[in-house]
Structure 1
């Protein structure tokens, strides 16, 4: 699939971010976060550009309109084999959780 992003990104405060239909319906667009404790780094490994694009949109929306001071992303399955989308991000079951903290003012 060739991913053609919408370059006119609109992030309205009054509503949650709307994920693309392709991202919502195709389970293969996901994020895997790998931690290397020995070398002290984390790798964000996206299965597609669309997965990276949607993650970036969620982070931008949180930066502009978030009020809690934090956001968490984690893997989850409710019904096999469908990975759930948590806070706008679909993560593989092997993935490490991601915590983002920011000033809430």
Structure 2
């Protein structure tokens, strides 16, 4: 399969380009985050490159435009539908992801 994801990434402050339409429409693109407590390892298992691409773009958006010191990614499910939160859809049994980074003074 040919990769059709754009390597030239443009991130706007309003983030209208995140997520991709295909990700928004197809719940088969998701992330499952797991913690191996015995080893302290963290596993991010993406179902597709599209899911990984939008997750990366959401982190890039937060690094450029973020006004908070933390981001939380969590599974959001209603009925049988999984929703995208901040650019990523987490599987039902996924661990939440917390990211902390200081807000720099400008």
How does the TM-score come out when normalised to structure 1?
A: 0.91
State the shift of 1:58 in Å.
0.4
Q: Which segments of 5 or more consecutive residues in structure 2 lack a partner in the other structure?
A: none
The 1-side partners of 2:76 and 2:60 are apart by 23
1:54 matched to which residue of 2? 54
Alignment of 1:82-93 (within 5 A): 82-93=81-92
- For 1:8-58, what per-residue CA distance to the aligned partner results, in whole angstroms no more than 9, with x for missing partners? 111122x12422110110000000001100000110000001100110000
The 1-side partners of 2:98 and 2:69 are apart by 11
Distance 1:77 1:9, change over 3 A: same
- 1:79 matches 2:79: yes
State the shift of 1:3 in Å.
4.0
State the shift of 1:87 in Å.
1.3
1:102 matched to which residue of 2? 101
How does the TM-score come out when normalised to structure 2?
A: 0.91
The 1-side partners of 2:30 and 2:3 are apart by 14
2:32 matched to which residue of 1? 32
State the shift of 1:79 in Å.
3.2
Q: Which segments of 5 or more consecutive residues in structure 1 lack a partner in the other structure?
A: none
The 1-side partners of 2:33 and 2:23 are apart by 18
**Matched residue of 1:61: which SS?**
helix
User: 1:3 touches 1:50 (CA, 8 Å); kept in 2?
Assistant: no
Number of residues paired by the alignment? 103
**Matched residue of 2:76: which SS?**
coil
The 1-side partners of 2:76 and 2:69 are apart by 23
